[in-house]
Amino acid sequence: MKKNLIKTGCLAIGLCLGAFQAQALDGAVVIANSSVAADSLSADALKDILTGKTKYWDGGQAVIITILPDKTDAALQQACGMDTSAFKTFWQRLAFSGRGQEPKKAADAAELVQIVATTKGAIAIVPADAALTGVKKLEIK
């Protein structure tokens, strides 16, 4: 009985931690185009995508990063360790040396969701209260 209580307690703590980690980004969630096979990403995998180390999804589709300047800065910083300015400079360095494609930019959350919905391989960090239509939400573990 005592062992069962401990197991149950551990499970509950684990579930709480899991829930906490799944919403690890401040006020934001990660979305992707429906062509993306993955339903979840580890925090490290998300960071590798945002820092250009992973440029293709498992099936070979190019990762198309889309950002919403000024609206998701804290979450971007949390996800890749760079603020918006550093992120922009980082990708300009890759793009202007022929080693990557600059992230697309959206003017507002609705446009961001629209771009992700219509662009194969697209991924984005979007405010948690945005209406998500035609995209899939990726769990961040």
Partner 1 sequence: MKNSKRTHSAILALTATIMAAGGAQAYELKLGTNMPPIDIHGFASQGFLASTKYNYLANNTKDGSFKFSEAAVNVSMNPFPRTHIAAQGFLFDVGNVGQYYPALDYASIDYTFCDQFGVRAGRIRRPEGIYNAIQDVDLARTSILLPQGMYDARYRDFSGSIDGGSLFGNVNMSKAGSFSYEAYLGNVNLTDDGGIARLLQDDFGKAPTQYKGVEGFTEGGVQLWWNTPIDGLRAGFAMYDALGFGYKYNVNIPPNLGGGLYHAQLDSPTEHYSLEYTVKNWTFQTEYKHNGYESYTVHNGVSTGGVVHSAADVWYAGAAYRFNKWFETGVYYTEDYANVDDRDGSKTGKGSDAYQKDLALSLRFDPKPWWVIKAEVHYIRGTALLDDNLDNPSRNGDGWFMLAMKTTVSF
Q: Enumerate binding residues for partner 1 (CB under 8 A).
A: 44, 48, 53-56, 59-62, 69, 81-86, 88-89, 92-93, 95-102, 104-105, 120
Nearer to partner 1, 4 or 97 (CB): 97
Name the token pair of 90.
Answer: 């980082």
3 state DSSP class of 133: coil
Nearer to partner 1, 70 or 129 (CB): 70
Distance between CA 78 and CA 26 in Å, rounded? 8
> What sections of 23-118 are H helices per DSSP?
43-50, 73-80, 84-95, 109-118
Report the nearest approach of partner 1 to the CB of residue 129 (Å): 24
Report the nearest approach of partner 1 to the CB of residue 70 (Å): 8
Angle 127-128-132 (CA atoms, 0-180°, nearest 5)?
90
Nearer to partner 1, 82 or 128 (CB): 82
